[in-house]
Structure 1
Amino acid sequence: MRHHPSAAIAAALFAATLPMGSALAQQAAEAGTTTAAVTAPADFFKQSPGSDYYLANYSEYEAYLKRLAGETDRMKLVDIGKTAEGRTQWMAVVSSPANLARLDEYRNIAQRLAKAEGVDEAEAHRLAARGKAVVWIDAGLHATETVTSQGQIQIIHRMLSQSDPETLRMLDDCIILFAHDNPDGMELVSNWYMRHADPAKREYATLPRLYQKYVGHDNNRDSFMAAMPETENVNRVLFRQWYPQIVYNQHQTGPEGMVVFVPPFRDPFNFNYDPIVMAMLNEVGFAMHSRLIAEGKAGSGTRSAAPYSTWHNGMERSVSYFHNSIGLLTEIIGGPTPTKIPLVPATQLPRGDEMMPIAPRAWHLQDSLDYQWTLNRAVIDYASRNRERLLFNIWRMGANSIEKGSRDSWTMTPTKVQRLADAAPLDQKDARPGSAKKVDPALYAALTQRPEERDPRAYVIPAGQADMPTAVAFLNALIKNGVDVEQAAAPFAAGGKTYPAGSYIVRTAQAYRPHILDMFEPQDHPHDTEYPGGPPKAPYDITGYTLAYQMGIGFDRILDGVEGTFERVPDLLPPPPGRIEGQGKAGWIVGHETNNSFILTNRLLKAGAKPAWIDAPVTANGHALRPGAIWIPASPRAAPVIERAVRELGLVAIASDRAPEAGLLPLKPVRIGLVDRYGGLMSAGWTRWLLEQFEFDFRPVYPKRLEAGNLAHDFDVILFTDGALPPKGAWGTDRAGKQPSERDTPPEYRATLGTLSDERIAPAIDGFIRGGGTVVAIGNAGRFTDLLSVPLAPALVRQVGGERKALDTKSFYIPGSILRARVDNRQPLGYGLPEAVDIFFNRSQTFTPAPGATDYGKVAWFEDRNPLRSGWAIGEERLAGTIAVADIGLGRGKLFLMGPEVAQRAQSHGTFKFLFNGLLYGPAAAEAKR
């Protein structure tokens, strides 16, 4: 948009109406001169962003931001960190020149109000009156959702160049943080789309790899873990630096027959939130709808128009609710290739959730960008008009959290509501469906406020637990999310126990209490059905994800106050200090309980040392070690590796004066093939990241190579993650993406083309295993039980016309929850694990043996009829007695079946050992058989 003289005239007239000397008046008076030099997108890019058949890439976007930063005093460009591929992730801070000159002051106000610590109500009002509303608006989290990235280019330019009264008011009242969530993805998608000279051939449905280096679309499930560098960068801005009151996360695509989904969302919302954040979310959402409608932009839908809810913590907009920020999600149609809005009759009648339907019509990218502009303006306008209230209410929510964490409090959950319902008099229990049950109010406290069910005042993570480095990794995930963590400088007592110095404490009397509870306490998802007695209504994402459970952290819930000498942790924690104990010269023994012991093992193998697993309990230097402890014979190659490991990895190495008397399983370097496919498989991408973190050597392997046979020539282990073997029947539905022709595929990607077929993969894998190879099959890759002659079969099935199908959802449904499983940790596949473990289960299969079956080991299984720990489960009793993790011998090799996703999204550190053990144990066992 170019600057015209009429804009200067309008600015001058507007300035005359404002108080003399105000920042807004000064800005309006100068508007005619401050915007003339701002380069319009059409004058910078090869084509104007928003044009049909055109996508600007991130390199061009980055260069444009740098150009703008040198041309305007309304924007400051900030480097917020590097991406997985090493690009700079930029954030454009946009506001009035007067505000930009005082950014540190306004950021300090935002921090003090958001954290609420030491700020009383009177001071909160004073700070809110002085402060500026902070609004985060991002783009490109999912890189194939190209509307958001192209639209942000236009939106930033308009905010820098327009001088109408509304824009000037917004700039004066607000500080807007425009950021890009996935630079690597924007570069890949745009370049892939633009690779053809002929516009009619342009597409990005056939991308050759994941558009975020490791996790693709799943990058929006990483918020509470912050494993990916981009997520860590974003979280740092949101919860440790700028504390925006509104977080607007833009996506596509919209519902069929509509243009855009805009909040509010459908239920359930997570019961840990402060209700203020939900009330204000609804306000902003309807302000967005009303602005669209007022401008004649039809086709926005809300609530029932789409499946989006506010339960899960892993998404960028939803993690915001746990931090008292208003998280917005929009999903809009469109893209660079013109399309049409289809005629969907059900969308044509106005209703509360779709107030202004849209007729079918042709649709262009600029149409979507015009809607994005309106939605962005609506959000910023809301923030401007409600500036003081937004700032005060984020304080109010933080203060509410501090107050609740400082006294006895209880959280209402679906389980407690069901207790109340069960207490209804019998003559009400058979009332007509939908009628309200009434319960004696005197029962309220007895059924919902039991003393032992109080919310904790604090959680203690004791020093010296079995896997302290993983406990530190858990604490770092909290710190990345702005949670305050303290460490004990001296021993202290709490809850009837004494804890050593070095233990950590996470108090709930802090502003981000909702997030803390959500990471430690079980998720109690409502029993949500399509209608009373009907099938379950699918949640938007998983229902149980308690991070402390997934990571296997030992912690105690402290229901009363905690006194002692504590120091607040200033930043991310390094691994705890390790040590070498003893003076023995024969070698070292290291326990198997620490995940970091696998990094040590891999380093030893690469150095040419000879580590081995001890197959029985052993006592060394007063330590009683369980089976699987690692024996490292003394050698010049091993010594420096051990010394570095105890320094960097938090390990305890016991120097022994003699080798163990128990049996040893010598380990060997392994060649791992990680199965992937053209376009990239997200479960394989997460696993790739995990293998890199723990320093396993591997390489991707694709269908053509797998089906060619002679796999032992290149691999000792082949790892199939969930989805790597195309699922069928009882194992789910294949969702593989489109593939281009070989001719249309760049040479470097042609080897990745193809799909696995049962007819070719079964004999190749069978021969590989029987010849001494190892196959690890996770999730629905357990379908190898259908393809190979093995003693186990899927347990959660029904027969339909002679074919095995998954159980119907009314009888069995676990849509991503945490369950409790038993473990035989005397078996190599279970080494290092406790006797009971929390395991993530997402519509998974378990196994049952055939009558008289032998040559398999039951490593992990569900023993109880109620194994649910966190989330939602229907028919969980069907799991009792079924096998979750199995060790199957075939010829000289091994097939390891892991029905649950033991490495899901790189979060479930507590079950990584099943995978890591399998990678090392299978080849070692085969070598022992030679």
Structure 2
Amino acid sequence: IGDAALLNRLEDHKAMLRRLADPRITTRAQADSIIAGAVPIYWMTAGLHSTELGPPEMVMELAYRLAVEDGEPFETIRHNVITLITPVLEVDGRTRQVEWYRRHVQGYTDRNDMPPRSPPFWGHYTFHDNNRDGIMVSQPLTRNYLEVFFEWRPTVSLDLHESVPLLYVSGGTGPYNETIDPLTIGEWHMLANYEVARVTSMDMPGVWTWGFYTGWYPGYLLWVTNNHNAMGRFYETFGNGTAETMERDLSDASYAGKKITTRQWYRSVPPPAKLNWSMRNNTNYMETGAIASLEMVAENPRLFLENFYRKGVRAMERGRSRPPYAFHIPAEQHDRDAARQLIDILRLQGIEVGVVTKDVDLGEDHQLAEGDLIVSSNQPFGPLARNLLMKQEFPEDAEHSPYDDVAWTLGLMLGVETHRIDDAAVLEVPVDPLAGDGPFAPGADLPRRRNVWAIPHLGQRELGPFRFAIPDVPVYAAGAAFEDGGRSFPAGTLLIDADSVSEAQLRSALSTRALELVSLRRMPDVERHTLDVPRIAVFQSWLSTQNAGWVRYTLDQAGVPYTLIGKDRVRAGNLGRDFDVLLIPQFGGGTRAKSIVAGVDPKWSPLAYTTTPEYPSHGVILSADDITGGIGFVGLEAIRLFVTEGGTLVALGSGTTLVTETGMIHDVSIKRPSGLNTPGSVITAKVLQPDSPLTYGYPELTHVFRGNGPLFSVAKYRRYLVPLQFGTKYVGLDAADDDDEADESDADDAPPLVLSGGVVKGKLDGEAAMVHTTLGDGHLVLFAWNPMHRHITQHDHALVYNAIMFWNDLDRPGAAEDASP
């Protein structure tokens, strides 16, 4: 939206902003000329979270007013700003939500006594986490957003949401992400203060900033703009989650430790304790704020364009003057496929990657080999490269708790070796632009055929899925390390008789996987596991589909077949007839078994999620005539029988409560230590049972990504149930009791407990990270964290695939396996 003069030269304006974005092709004088003739592009987005019904309605009205309304500020906005509006980002979710409202929610006006306001699904995989994919860019929605950004280069973005009363204008309490330019932070507050003052001046109470969210995590969708030298913000307007008008009580609502009804420096006129709130109120507040925001940008176009250019200049200057100057990614990687994905992510984000053209010795253990990769900080998006590749250190003295994950170091998250280089000489290393996948391309050519094919197990995320790519071929895994031709192979190495598989089958299975295939002269003389392909069921509760969605996405991407089941299939029993492995994903971090067993309140029965002519978007992914109720005690007994009759149950994070809080097993229980806070951090872990198939591929000291959730209570005399622990502290029968709150590892040279991220402030070092126990003839493998979190914790995926791949090769744990200090 803009006046005719702007729209007639739309492509010219887009081109000018693309030139401003790269100071290497635009001199200061050229930038001044562009700024004099260009205008900012302001991108407004709505409908990301489907239950937040107001924003898509508001922007349609706003678009009309911006296009046709006379007088100020509309004429100045049309003349000085190109406004880009996306009315609905999550289009499938919007359709499902509207149909859900009409089918089940319409007419209910008591917010405390109404059916669930949301349908079970929004997008095909993601629910609320569609706003947490800005780093991995795994979903089409995120990729579309990134593509639009690079095409239009919007100077300012505003993502419209609903939650807190009455209108929150983002600014954040801090701590702020350390790689974001101070100019961006200044713009956040400049616009926020103007909008709060402008809307409040119109006798609209309850408009505020600062006291919600931090500004640390860079993976939100709108942070695509902040990460690329533009400026992104969001609104949270009060909403009812339906189109109905409701009486709302705000008397108990608090943010940043202060009641919402109190006057603060950031909220000069608080909202009343009680009020009637409607969709019209929602629109009025949000639209007034958006117009004020556009007004501010329209009155200061040169300022925002100047800042846009200067942020690119300052990024280059920091890359030349402050360490780290670059990051080194060796061509030799234990997981080449993960390294390929890391490179894909960087380039998708607009970060340039170079290939070293000759061997270079930088000293201090920084030897660069020809073919290695270098990511320089001296580029327009150098700060983003630092953000993604450096370790995070969330401040220990932060006044306010983190709003989301506090770590995202891609080398650790994906399991890729990277090295920070603080020597400015790296900027002079000759490199060529990386073409294609470089050293991490999938294997198209096979080595010379001998008698046995082998793939070393090094914890690669694609090793387990490879087995599913050739389901009809007998595949074995070495039960111990061995040597062949002077080379050592670790336990867990996959072995295939060359006569049992065609080269075409191998090429097909390896065409998308950068796995090393080795030809051996003979089958090694070691114990072997026969890797029977299991039939997998993934359980989903109708109360929480988000994390099951990420599991589905991960398995689908890996080509691992599974069947998604809900409460009705579990309650029907006889699970072992159809399945060998039952995978229970993480639910919410604080989920207890009661909610899984009880499910959605049956008072609202029946709540159908089925496809009908009137509701064609429903019944997709999984359907049910009635989503109320949970698995119940009948379902719980069905799961118990599944395990006792020889099935394997794999539970992630809070999904473990289904067996640990219900009395299904007796040797492990749940604990939730007070004060412990691991809000998404990379934690050191130690393998206690290297001979267990569950830990194949991982070194003794490794790491995992842990968010908040329950821990396991395992008696010291049952420590043999723990193949993997958090930290390095020894916990055994002869270990001294330690009641100190602080974590302390025994060895002076032990790595820190937190490798990236922060907080903790409670006992975690030495706690069980994974438990393996038995029930009847079956096995239970329990994870005290969610190893399939948002598709970003891919370093941890092989642990899940180990549990699945070796589902019927696990020995019964016994006291003789207790780890020594």
* CA distance in structure 1 between the partners assigned to 2:454 and 2:727 by the alignment: 32
Q: Does residue 1:567 correspond to 2:477, yes or no?
A: no
Which of 793, 801, 815 is residue 668 of structure 2 equivalent to? 793
Query: Cα deviation per residue 1:693-718 (whole Å; 9 max; x = unaligned)?
Result: 11111112222332443221121111
1:317-356 matches, cutoff 5 A = 317-334=222-239, 335-342=242-249, 344=251, 347-348=260-261, 350-356=263-269
* CA distance in structure 2 between the partners assigned to 1:899 and 1:488 by the alignment: 41
What amino acid maps onto 1:709 in structure 2?
G
Query: Could you tell me which residue of structure 2 aligns to residue 228 of structure 1?
Result: 139
By how many angstroms is 1:293 displaced?
A: 2.3
The answer to whether the 8 A contact 2:21-2:309 is kept is yes
Query: Could you tell me which residue of structure 2 aligns to residue 886 of structure 1?
Result: 771
Query: Cα deviation per residue 1:496-523 (whole Å; 9 max; x = unaligned)?
Result: 5433333221111122233222212222
Which of 276, 286, 291 is residue 362 of structure 1 equivalent to? 276
Query: Could you tell me which residue of structure 2 aligns to residue 909 of structure 1?
Result: 794
Query: Could you tell me which residue of structure 1 aligns to residue 748 of structure 2?
Result: none
What amino acid maps onto 2:225 in structure 1?
S
Which of 309, 314, 321 is residue 214 of structure 2 equivalent to? 309
Which of 83, 100, 116 is residue 176 of structure 1 equivalent to? 83
Query: Could you tell me which residue of structure 2 aligns to residue 867 of structure 1?
Result: 753
The answer to whether the 8 A contact 1:820-1:867 is kept is yes
* CA distance in structure 2 between the partners assigned to 1:211 and 1:867 by the alignment: 37
Query: Could you tell me which residue of structure 1 aligns to residue 645 of structure 2?
Result: 771
The answer to whether the 8 A contact 1:457-1:558 is kept is yes
**Root mean square deviation, CA, Å:** 3.1
CA separation of 1:494/1:156 partners in 2, compared to 1, >3 Å: closer, same or farther?
farther
Query: Cα deviation per residue 1:56-112 (whole Å; 9 max; x = unaligned)?
Result: xxxxxxxxxxxxxxxxxxxxxxxxxxxxxxxxxxxxxx3333323333332232223
The answer to whether the 8 A contact 2:597-2:630 is kept is no
1:331-730 matches, cutoff 5 A = 331-334=236-239, 335-342=242-249, 344=251, 347-348=260-261, 350-359=263-272, 360-407=274-321, 409=322, 455-495=323-363, 496-528=365-397, 537-560=400-423, 561-562=425-426, 563-569=428-434, 576-578=441-443, 580=445, 582-593=447-458, 594-605=460-471, 608-620=472-484, 623-635=487-499, 637-678=501-542, 680-723=544-587, 727-728=591-592
By how many angstroms is 1:737 displaced?
A: 6.0
By how many angstroms is 1:187 displaced?
A: 1.2
CA separation of 1:493/1:788 partners in 2, compared to 1, >3 Å: closer, same or farther?
farther
By how many angstroms is 1:393 displaced?
A: 1.0
Moved more, 905-914 or 111-120: 111-120
* CA distance in structure 2 between the partners assigned to 1:500 and 1:513 by the alignment: 22
Query: Cα deviation per residue 1:189-242 (whole Å; 9 max; x = unaligned)?
Result: 11222337975599883544221221201111111111111112112222x333
* CA distance in structure 2 between the partners assigned to 1:294 and 1:498 by the alignment: 62
The answer to whether the 8 A contact 1:310-1:318 is kept is no
The answer to whether the 8 A contact 2:177-2:217 is kept is yes
Structure 2 unaligned runs (5+)?
253-258, 611-618, 730-743, 745-751, 813-821
CA separation of 1:734/1:155 partners in 2, compared to 1, >3 Å: closer, same or farther?
farther
CA separation of 1:889/1:112 partners in 2, compared to 1, >3 Å: closer, same or farther?
same
Moved more, 828-837 or 566-575: 566-575
CA separation of 1:886/1:229 partners in 2, compared to 1, >3 Å: closer, same or farther?
same
SS in 2 for 1:687: helix
What amino acid maps onto 1:187 in structure 2?
T
Moved more, 459-468 or 309-318: 309-318
Which of 121, 132, 145 is residue 210 of structure 1 equivalent to? 121
CA separation of 1:251/1:632 partners in 2, compared to 1, >3 Å: closer, same or farther?
same
**What is the total number of aligned residue pairs between the two structures?**
761
SS in 2 for 1:362: strand
* CA distance in structure 2 between the partners assigned to 1:287 and 1:236 by the alignment: 30
SS in 2 for 1:115: coil
Query: Could you tell me which residue of structure 2 aligns to residue 248 of structure 1?
Result: 158
TM-score normalised according to structure 2 size: 0.86
Query: Cα deviation per residue 1:288-308 (whole Å; 9 max; x = unaligned)?
Result: 11221233333212223xx31
The answer to whether the 8 A contact 2:54-2:279 is kept is yes
SS in 1 for 2:624: helix
Query: Cα deviation per residue 1:753-778 (whole Å; 9 max; x = unaligned)?
Result: 34446744554333222221101111
CA separation of 1:601/1:752 partners in 2, compared to 1, >3 Å: closer, same or farther?
farther
Moved more, 487-496 or 909-918: 487-496
CA separation of 1:726/1:699 partners in 2, compared to 1, >3 Å: closer, same or farther?
farther
Query: Could you tell me which residue of structure 2 aligns to residue 126 of structure 1?
Result: 33
* CA distance in structure 2 between the partners assigned to 1:398 and 1:640 by the alignment: 49
* CA distance in structure 2 between the partners assigned to 1:361 and 1:603 by the alignment: 59
Moved more, 617-626 or 814-823: 617-626
CA separation of 1:250/1:465 partners in 2, compared to 1, >3 Å: closer, same or farther?
same
What amino acid maps onto 1:510 in structure 2?
Q
The answer to whether the 8 A contact 2:121-2:545 is kept is yes
The answer to whether the 8 A contact 1:727-1:734 is kept is no
Query: Could you tell me which residue of structure 1 aligns to residue 738 of structure 2?
Result: none
The answer to whether the 8 A contact 1:831-1:917 is kept is yes
Query: Could you tell me which residue of structure 1 aligns to residue 806 of structure 2?
Result: 921
* CA distance in structure 2 between the partners assigned to 1:200 and 1:559 by the alignment: 61
The answer to whether the 8 A contact 1:133-1:173 is kept is yes
* CA distance in structure 1 between the partners assigned to 2:535 and 2:596 by the alignment: 30
* CA distance in structure 1 between the partners assigned to 2:529 and 2:104 by the alignment: 55
Rg comparison, structure with higher value: 1
The answer to whether the 8 A contact 2:135-2:218 is kept is yes
* CA distance in structure 2 between the partners assigned to 1:538 and 1:833 by the alignment: 32
SS in 1 for 2:416: coil
The answer to whether the 8 A contact 1:612-1:630 is kept is yes
* CA distance in structure 1 between the partners assigned to 2:601 and 2:313 by the alignment: 51
Query: Could you tell me which residue of structure 2 aligns to residue 14 of structure 1?
Result: none
Moved more, 269-278 or 845-854: 845-854
By how many angstroms is 1:370 displaced?
A: 2.3
CA separation of 1:266/1:348 partners in 2, compared to 1, >3 Å: closer, same or farther?
same
By how many angstroms is 1:525 displaced?
A: 1.2
What amino acid maps onto 2:392 in structure 1?
Q
By how many angstroms is 1:674 displaced?
A: 0.9
CA separation of 1:192/1:204 partners in 2, compared to 1, >3 Å: closer, same or farther?
farther
Query: Could you tell me which residue of structure 2 aligns to residue 844 of structure 1?
Result: 709
SS in 1 for 2:370: coil
* CA distance in structure 1 between the partners assigned to 2:358 and 2:487 by the alignment: 24
TM-score normalised according to structure 1 size: 0.76
By how many angstroms is 1:319 displaced?
A: 4.7
By how many angstroms is 1:820 displaced?
A: 0.9
SS in 2 for 1:903: coil
The answer to whether the 8 A contact 2:536-2:581 is kept is yes
* CA distance in structure 1 between the partners assigned to 2:719 and 2:760 by the alignment: 32
Moved more, 347-356 or 375-384: 347-356
1:106-145 matches, cutoff 5 A = 106-145=13-52
What amino acid maps onto 1:368 in structure 2?
N
Moved more, 742-751 or 884-893: 742-751
* CA distance in structure 2 between the partners assigned to 1:635 and 1:231 by the alignment: 45
Query: Could you tell me which residue of structure 2 aligns to residue 90 of structure 1?
Result: none
Query: Cα deviation per residue 1:683-741 (whole Å; 9 max; x = unaligned)?
Result: 11111100111111111222233244322112111111122899339x99999766774
